[in-house]
Amino acid sequence: MRLAINIDHIATLRNARGGKEPDPIEGAKICEEAGAEGIVCHLREDRRHIKDEDVYLLRRTVRTKLDLEMAATDEIVAIALEVKPDLVTFVPERRQELTTEGGLDVQAGKQRLQDVIKTFHQQNIAVSLFVDPVSAQIEASKEIAADFIEIHTGEYADATTERDQRTQLARVQKAARLAKSFGLGVNAGHGLNYLNIVPVIAIQEIDEVSIGHAVISRALVVGLDRAVREMGELVQGR
């Protein structure tokens, strides 16, 4: 199973001060040096974290694989076609949401998605669809020639009882199996962390997990000690 890291939150922190730090491009490089096999970023319509220039720079600097998450709007599609990421992942987008809330309704948006998938395929760019672990959505993804699906693991991650966690995990597993039986690549993500990842690793049909919040949060916790010591050395002359 491959690990791809979503670096959006580095940009969120940068944008809080409107400056250049922390730099998501440098963050992506550190992730790759640490063994990440892909870098994921989401260019949202409201540009709340990743900005256009980040995506262009990432295209030039990412050495592993660049996965651009995006809504299938004309504006973002045009940017993606210029940037040429290795993979585009279509997600539903609502302006008010804190993060992507649910999977795509592939059936409802079939015609539009089919058209944009064709456009990306003409440029040799692979396409993934972020879907809930629901058979009908996976079947629809296959029908419109997606290359990958990304299974939304949010409900699994949010499960509060062991029983519900088991039920949600079984849904993810079933979805992964079905997608694999169709010849689709299988990614998974949303809400995965250092604890709930463990049973997911056992699902052999999942090729890649995409993780952002948990890793960037942990980086702050494990990195804070060193950051304070370094500043202490400067300020206190230690």
Nearer to ligand PXP, 79 or 197 (CB): 197
Point out the catalytic residue in the list 42, 49, 152, 155: 42
DSSP letter for 98, please. S
69 noted as active-site residue: yes
Cα 171 to Cα 71: distance, rounded to the nearest angstrom: 25
State the residue for tokens 């649910």.
Answer: 102
**Is residue 127 a contact partner of residue 147, using CB atoms and an 8 Å limit?**
yes
Q: How far is the CB of 38 from ligand PXP (least distance, A)?
A: 11
Q: Work out the number of other CB atoms within 10 angstroms of the CB of residue 219.
A: 18
With a CB cutoff of 8 Å and minimum separation 6, the contacts of 148 are 87, 89, 126, 127, 128, 129, 184, 185, 186, 187, 207
Q: How far is the CB of 211 from ligand PXP (least distance, A)?
A: 4
Return the structure tokens found at 185: 């690549």
Q: How far is the CB of 193 from ligand PXP (least distance, A)?
A: 8
With a CB cutoff of 8 Å and minimum separation 6, the contacts of 186 are 148, 149, 151, 176, 179, 180, 205, 206, 207, 208
Point out the catalytic residue in the list 9, 49, 152, 190: 190
Q: Work out the number of other CB atoms within 10 angstroms of the CB of residue 141.
A: 29
Q: How far is the CB of 110 from ligand PXP (least distance, A)?
A: 19
Point out the catalytic residue in the list 9, 32, 49, 69: 69
Q: How far is the CB of 147 from ligand PXP (least distance, A)?
A: 15
Residues in the site for ligand PXP, rule: CB under 6 A? 6, 8, 42, 69, 89, 91, 99-100, 130, 150, 189-192, 210-214
Nearer to ligand PXP, 89 or 141 (CB): 89
For Cα atoms 157, 158, 162, give the angle at the middle one, nearest 5 degrees: 85
Nearer to ligand PXP, 102 or 233 (CB): 102
Return the structure tokens found at 101: 């809330």
Nearer to ligand PXP, 129 or 140 (CB): 129
152 noted as active-site residue: no
As annotated, the active-site residues are: 42, 69, 190
